[in-house]
Amino acid sequence: MGDRPVTNTPASANQISVSGTGLRVDEARRGWRHQLVYIGRLLWRDKSGVIGLVLFLTLVFSAVFAPWISPHDPLSQHLSESKLPPAWTEGGDWKYPLGTDNLGRDLLSRIIYGSRVSLTVGLVGVVIACGLGMLIGLVSGYAGGRVDAAISGFVNLILALPYLLFVVFIASILGRSLINVIMIFGITDSPIFARTTRGEVLRLREAGYVESAMAIGAGGWKILFDHILPNLIGPLITVATFTMSAMIFYEAGLGFLGLSVPPSVPSWGNMLSSGRKYLTTAPWIAGFPGLAIMFASLGMNLLGDWLRDVLDPRLRRVKK
Amino acid sequence: MDNVTPLLEVKDLVTQFNTLDGAVHAVNGVSFIIDEGETLAIVGESGCGKSVTMLSLMGLIPQPPGKIVNGQALYFDGSTQRDLLALSKEELRQVRGREIGMVFQDPLTSLNPVMTIGQQISESLVEHMRMSSAEAYQRTLKLLEYVDIPDPQKRYGNYPHQFSGGMRQRVMIAIAIACMPKILIADEPTTALDVTVQAQIVELVAQMRAELKMAVIWITHDLGVVAGIADRVMVMYGGHVAERAYVDDLYKHPKHPYTVGLLGALPRMDEDTARRLVSIEGSPPDLYKQPTHCQFAYRCPFAFDRCWAEIPPLITVGYRHKLACFYDIDQGRPRDVA
Amino acid sequence: MQRYLVSRLIQSIAILFGVLVLVFFMVRVTGDPATIMMPREASPESIEAFRHKMGFDRPVIVQFWDFLTHAVVGDFGNSLHFKIPALPLILERLPATVQLAAGGMLLALVVAIPLGLVGGSTPGSVWDGIGRLIGLLGQSIPNFWLALVLIFFFAVRLRLLPSFGRDELRSMILPCFVLGLPTMGSLVRLTRSAVLEIRGEDYVRTAYSKGLRPNLIYVRHILRNAAIPLVSVIGVQFGYMLGGSIYIETIFSWPGMGQMIEQAIGWRDYPLVQAIAFLTSVIVVVLNLFTDMAYALIDPRIRYGR
C-alpha cells in the first residue's frame, strides 16, 4: 500500500476543512472532566460494571473493617453450639447468622475475616506480579535482540506450563504460609503482565514514538514516563483486575487442598476444605464460603469487563 | 430536460444515526440524477455524507443505529422504475451486485482473507447469473484478464494477502462488475493507493465505462481525479448538496463559495481584501444538530443574515447546474430569490 | 509455513527442556530434597540414609545430568509410595483423565458454540443474555465449590447421579460438567465477540454489497473467519482441562492423574509428583503444538504467507 498523495494546492477537499466530526465521537479530544462524566454515563448504561464495583468495594470494606463488623471472634470455638444451621432455618439462631462450623465457630465472622486473606493475596499478589512483569516487559521490549529473545523464551515457558499443577507442586514444597502464597502467585502471574508490557513497548516503538522522541533529544526516562506509561495503564489495569480475580480463586483452591494459609487462619479455601467432610450433615459450612469466593471473583470479573470496554482504544488515544 | 427516464433518480434522501450522544444527521436532503453511461463524481470532505448516501441507496446502512428517514431512490432498469428505498430486503438483495456494483476504499480489509479471490468473484456469478461453478470459473478468468491481472488461472486460487494494493483493487472492481451492473459505485477507490497505481485504476474504470456502457458514481475528495473521469460533479457539504453541474461548467463557473474554495480560485468581485478561501477557519458542521440554516455559513466569507436563518434550497443557475446558496458570487451580492 | 512449524517445534523442545530443569529444581528449592520427601517425624539418620540412597549428596550438576538422561527415556525412578517405576504408574492413569477432559470439552463445545453464534448475531436477544450469563458464571464460579454443591443436590438429595468413581457412564456427567464449565464460559464469550467483530468487518459489507444470500454470507464469510481464533483457544483450553483436573478428580474420586498427584503430595512422593508434572507438561506442549499447526493450516495468511 502506498502513501496518500500529498499535494500543496487545494486540490483536496480535506485540506480546507478541520477534519469533520464525522460519525464517530472522538472523546480523545475532549477534556478529562468530560471524560469522567462520560465514564459515569458508561457505568450507568452498563450496570454490570456497577455491580462489579459494588462487590469489589464490599470485599475491601469487609477486609478493612473486619474486626468492627464481625459479630464474633472468628477463632473462638463454641463447641456446644457446633454445626448450627443458618439462622433462618429451623434449629438456627440469630446469634450466628450463617450458622457455625464443626468447632462451633461463627461462619459469618470467619467469612468476613477470610476476605482479608483473599484481598491481601489478590492485591499484594497483583502488585508484585504487575511490578515484576512490567520490569521484565520493559527490559525485554527496550533491549530487543537477544536479550528480548531470551526473556521472551523464559516468559513463554512459564506461560506454557499447566498452571494449577505447578502452583500446587511448589506450594506443597514451600509449605503453608501467606507469604509463600503471595510470592507464588506474584511470580507465576507476572508473565502475563510482562507480555502485555512488552507488546505495548513494541507497538510504540513501531509507531515511531520512541524514535521520534529520541530524535528530539528526549532521554530514556522521559520517553518512559511521557509515552509508554500512559499507554500501559489501560491494558495493565484490565489485566490486573482479571488476575486479581484469578488469584482469589486459586488461593481458595489451594486452601481447599490444604496448601494455602495455615489451618488456624480463617480463609475461604480452608473453610471449604474442612467443610467438605460435613457436606451431607452440615452443607452450609462449605456452602457459604464458596458463595463468598464466587461473589468476589464475579465482582472482579465484572469490573474487569467494564474496565476493558471503557479503557478501549478510544481513550488510548489520549497521548501527548 | 431530456425525456428519457433517468437511470437513477434520488430525491430528498435523509439518513440519520442514533448514537449515545444523540442523533447524527449524516445526510440532509440529497437529490441527484444519473443517466445511463454517465459518470457522476461526488466530492466533499470527510463526514459530508457522500459515503452514507451511497450506502443508504444500497441498503447497507445497519438499521439500528441508522435510519433512512426520508427519500426516494428511483431506479429504472429499462422496463420498470422502482424505489430502492421501498423495496423489501430480499428484493434489494437481488438488485445489489446484479444491477448496482460497489467498490470500496480499502481493498485489503474489504476482501475476505480466508477465501480465494477467484471464489469471491465467482460467488456473485453463481448467485445472480445462475451459473454453474464451471461457467463461473471461466467467466471469472475472463474478468481477471479484463482488469489486467496477469496469469489469471494461477491467481484464481490465490488469497487477498498475496496481492499488492493495486491488484487487490482490481479484484474488487472485477467483483463489482462481474454481473455487468448498470451502475458502478466507487467509494474513494484510489485513496488508499499509490499515486501511480491510482492513475492505472482511473484509466481502467474509464475504459470500462466506455466499453461496458456503465454509469459510474465516483466518490472522492481528490479534484484531480474528478477532472480526469467525470461527466458531472456533485459537491457535498454537511450532508447537503452544495452545487451540482457538468464538469466543465463547474470548473469554469463555480458558484458555491465552497466549490470556489475547493478549486482555489478567487471570487470575481469581492468586496474585502482578497481572502484566500484555502486558509479558512471556523468549525466543521456539527452533525448532531438538526440543520436549520446553511451549514457552510460558519466558514463562508460571504455569509449574511439570511444564510443563518434558512437552509438554502437547490436552485437552477445554468443548464443542469444546481446551486444551494443565497449569495451570488459573480455579482458580489445576495441573490434575488424568493 | 514450514519454517513456522519447524521453529515452533524447536520452541517446544526448548520448553520441555525448561520444564525438566524446573521440575528438577523445584524439589530442591528448600535446599534439601531429602527432608521434604521423608515423613516429618523421620530421624536424622534415616534422612541421611535416604539422602545417600537417592544420590542427593552428589554434586548438583551430576544429579541433574543423571536426572536428564533418565528422564528423556522415561525413567523417573520409582515412586516412593508404590515402590515401582513412576512413569508407567501414571500412564495407567492417563486414559481416565483424558476421558474426563474430552467429555468436558465436548459438553463445552456443544453448548458454547451455538450460544455464542446466536449471541454474536443477535446481540441483546434472550439467547444472547443466556450466553453471556453462562460466560460470566463459567468464569466466576469456583469449580471445586460447584462440584460440592452439585454433589449435594444431585447425589445426596436427589440421588440421581453417582458422586464418585468411574464405574458407569452416568458417573461422567457431574465431573465433566464441572470441568467443562469454565471452558464453556470462555468459549461462549469468545465466539460471541468473534462473531460480533467480524460482522462489522469491511469484507462482510462487501459480501452484502454483492447481494449474496444471508445464510451464505454467514457461513462462508463470518463463520470461516470466526473459526480461526476459536481453534487456538479450544486447543489451549483442552490443555488447561488436562492439567487442571486436580480438584475435580479429588472430589469425585476419579482415578486419573489429577487425583494421583494430590495423593502423591500427601504421601510426599515427589519422584511421582515430578513424573506427573513432566508428563502433563509434555501433553500440554504437544497439544499447543498441534493447535498451532491446525491454526497455520486453517489461516491462509499463514499457510501461504509471503
ipTM: 0.86
pLDDT of amino acid A222: 67
CA–chain centroid gap for A181, Å, is 16
Residue range B259-282: mean pLDDT, rounded: 54
pLDDT of amino acid B63: 80
| Grid coordinates of A196 | 502485555
Asked if C213 has any chain B CB less than 8 Å from its own CB, the reply is: yes
Neighboring chains of B (3 or more beta-carbon pairs < 8 A) = A, C
**Whole-structure pTM over 0.90, yes or no?**
no
Distance CA B291, CA A272 (A): 65
8 Å CB contact of A25 and B19: yes
Band (B267; pLDDT cuts 50, 70, 90):
very low
Residues in a beta bridge with B187: B219
Residues in a beta bridge with B33: B9
pLDDT of amino acid B100: 92
Distance CA C28, CA C55 (A): 13
Residue type for position B56: S
Least confident of B67-71, B255-259, B286-290: B286-290
B328 in Cβ contact with B269 (< 8 Å): no
Asked if B191 has any chain A CB less than 8 Å from its own CB, the reply is: yes
C242 in Cβ contact with C53 (< 8 Å): no
Scanning every residue of chain C, which has its alpha carbon at the shortest distance from the alpha carbon of A282? C152
Q: For residue A174, which residues of chain C lie inside 8 Å, CB to CB?
A: 29-30
β-bridge pairing B232-237 and B240-246 = antiparallel
Residue B267, SS3 per DSSP: coil
Distance CA B25, CA B69 (A): 10
Phi-psi region of B322 (alpha: psi -120 to 50; beta: other; left: phi over 0): beta
Q: For residue C306, which residues of chain B lie inside 8 Å, CB to CB?
A: 161-162
- Across the interface, of C203, C205, C304, the residue whose CB is closest to B162 is C304
Q: Which residues are CB-contacts of A303 (< 8 A; sequence separation ≥ 6)?
A: A49, A52, A53, A55, A56, A241
Distance CA A320, CA B62 (A): 35
A42-56, A96-110, C200-214: which is most confident:
C200-214
Least confident of A66-70, A185-189, A203-207, C103-107: A203-207
pLDDT of A26 > 50? The answer is: no
Tell me: the pLDDT tens digits for B125-166? 999 988 898 999 999 999 999 998 999 999 999 999 999 888
Distance CA C5, CA C302 (A): 10
pLDDT of amino acid C180: 93
By C-alpha distance, which of B319, B329, B324 is closest to B241? B324
B224 in Cβ contact with B263 (< 8 Å): no
Scanning every residue of chain C, which has its alpha carbon at the shortest distance from the alpha carbon of A161? C281
pLDDT of amino acid B271: 41
Residue type for position B52: V
Residue range B258-268: mean pLDDT, rounded: 66
Residue range A34-57: mean pLDDT, rounded: 76
Q: How far apart are the first and last CA of chain B?
A: 23
* Residue-wise DSSP of C250-291: HHTT--SHHHHHHHHHHHT-HHHHHHHHHHHHHHHHHHHHHH
Band (B278; pLDDT cuts 50, 70, 90):
very low
Q: Which of residues 122-181 of C touch B (CB under 8 A)?
A: none
- Across the interface, of A154, A165, A256, the residue whose CB is closest to C243 is A165
pLDDT of amino acid B69: 87
- Across the interface, of C156, C265, C284, the residue whose CB is closest to A162 is C284
β-bridge pairing B66-76 and B81-83 = antiparallel
B245 in Cβ contact with B322 (< 8 Å): yes
The DSSP H or E segment spanning A57 is helix A47-64
Asked if B246 has any chain C CB less than 8 Å from its own CB, the reply is: no
A163 in Cβ contact with A243 (< 8 Å): no
Neighboring chains of A (3 or more beta-carbon pairs < 8 A) = B, C
Asked if B5 has any chain C CB less than 8 Å from its own CB, the reply is: no
pLDDT of amino acid A45: 65
* Residue-wise DSSP of C191-242: HHHHHHHHHTSHHHHHHHHTT--HHHIIIIIIIHHHHHHHHHHHHHHHHHHH
- Other C-beta atoms closer than 10 Å to the C-beta of A169 total 25
Residue type for position A274: S
B328: phi then psi, degrees, rounded to nearest 5: -105, 105
Band (B283; pLDDT cuts 50, 70, 90):
low
Question: Which residues of chain C register pLDDT less than 70?
Answer: 305-306
Residues of A within an 8 Å Cβ radius of C? 153-154, 156-157, 160-166, 168-170, 172-174, 245, 249, 252-253, 256-257, 259, 272, 275-276, 279-280, 283, 286-287, 289-290, 293-294, 297-298, 301-302
β-bridge pairing B315-318 and B39-43 = unpaired
- Across the interface, of B98, B114, B128, the residue whose CB is closest to C224 is B114
The DSSP H or E segment spanning A272 is helix A268-276
pLDDT of amino acid A223: 65
Residue range B92-121: mean pLDDT, rounded: 91
Distance from CA of B317 to the nearest CA of A (A): 23
Determine if the peptide bond prior to C214 is cis (ω within 30°). no
> Grid coordinates 453463481 are at which residue?
B126
Asked if C197 has any chain B CB less than 8 Å from its own CB, the reply is: no
Distance CA B182, CA B37 (A): 8
Residues in a beta bridge with C107: none
B269 versus A21: the higher-pLDDT residue is B269
Distance CA A245, CA B11 (A): 57
Distance CA B238, CA C105 (A): 54
Residue A140, SS3 per DSSP: helix
Mutate which of C32, C37, C144, C263 to disrupt the A interface (most A C-beta within 10 Å)?
A: C144
Phi-psi region of B310 (alpha: psi -120 to 50; beta: other; left: phi over 0): beta
Cα separations (Å) of A288 from A58, A225, A301, A319?
A: 16, 45, 20, 46
The DSSP H or E segment spanning B183 is strand B183-187
- Other C-beta atoms closer than 10 Å to the C-beta of C165 total 11
Distance CA B113, CA C202 (A): 11
pLDDT of B279 > 60? The answer is: no
Scanning every residue of chain A, which has its alpha carbon at the shortest distance from the alpha carbon of B222? A12
Mean of per-residue pLDDT scores for chain A: 78
Q: For residue B197, which residues of chain A lie inside 8 Å, CB to CB?
A: 2
Residue range B202-230: mean pLDDT, rounded: 84
Scanning every residue of chain A, which has its alpha carbon at the shortest distance from the alpha carbon of C15? A157
Residue type for position A72: H
DSSP code of residue B46 = T
By C-alpha distance, which of A122, A128, A154, A157 is closest to A139? A154
Scanning every residue of chain B, which has its alpha carbon at the shortest distance from the alpha carbon of C302? B161
Least confident of A44-53, A112-121, A295-304: A44-53
Mutate which of B89, B110, B163 to disrupt the C interface (most C C-beta within 10 Å)?
A: B110
pLDDT of amino acid B337: 66
Mean of per-residue pLDDT scores for chain C: 87
Q: Which residues are CB-contacts of B98 (< 8 A; sequence separation ≥ 6)?
A: B124, B128, B179, B181, C211
Band (A319; pLDDT cuts 50, 70, 90):
very low
Taking the CA atoms of residue A309, residue A315, residue A316 and residue A319 in that order, the dihedral angle to the nearest 10 degrees is -170
Q: Which residues are CB-contacts of B333 (< 8 A; sequence separation ≥ 6)?
A: B327
Distance CA C245, CA C258 (A): 5
Q: For residue A161, which residues of chain C lie inside 8 Å, CB to CB?
A: 19, 22, 281, 284
Measured CA angle at B60 (ends B59, B65), to 5 deg = 100
- Across the interface, of B44, B196, B262, the residue whose CB is closest to A10 is B262
pLDDT of B265 > 70? The answer is: no
Distance from CA of B156 to the nearest CA of C (A): 14
Q: For residue B101, which residues of chain C lie inside 8 Å, CB to CB?
A: 209
Distance from CA of A173 to the nearest CA of C (A): 7
Band (A9; pLDDT cuts 50, 70, 90):
very low
Mutate which of C21, C140, C181, C273 to disrupt the A interface (most A C-beta within 10 Å)?
A: C140
Distance CA C26, CA B304 (A): 83
pLDDT of amino acid B159: 92
- Across the interface, of A4, A7, A13, the residue whose CB is closest to B43 is A13
A298: phi then psi, degrees, rounded to nearest 5: -60, -45
Scanning every residue of chain B, which has its alpha carbon at the shortest distance from the alpha carbon of A6? B195
Distance CA A56, CA A52 (A): 6
The per-type count for chain B, helices as H runs and strands as E runs, is 11, 14
pLDDT of B275 > 90? The answer is: no
CA–chain centroid gap for B310, Å, is 26
8 Å CB contact of B175 and C210: yes
Q: For residue A298, which residues of chain C lie inside 8 Å, CB to CB?
A: 136-137, 140
8 Å CB contact of A5 and B222: yes
DSSP code of residue A207 = T
Asked if B102 has any chain C CB less than 8 Å from its own CB, the reply is: yes
Band (A313; pLDDT cuts 50, 70, 90):
low
pLDDT of amino acid B233: 93
C116 in Cβ contact with C190 (< 8 Å): yes
- Across the interface, of A160, A272, A290, the residue whose CB is closest to C284 is A160
8 Å CB contact of A1 and B198: no
Residue B289, SS3 per DSSP: coil
Q: For residue C36, which residues of chain A lie inside 8 Å, CB to CB?
A: 173
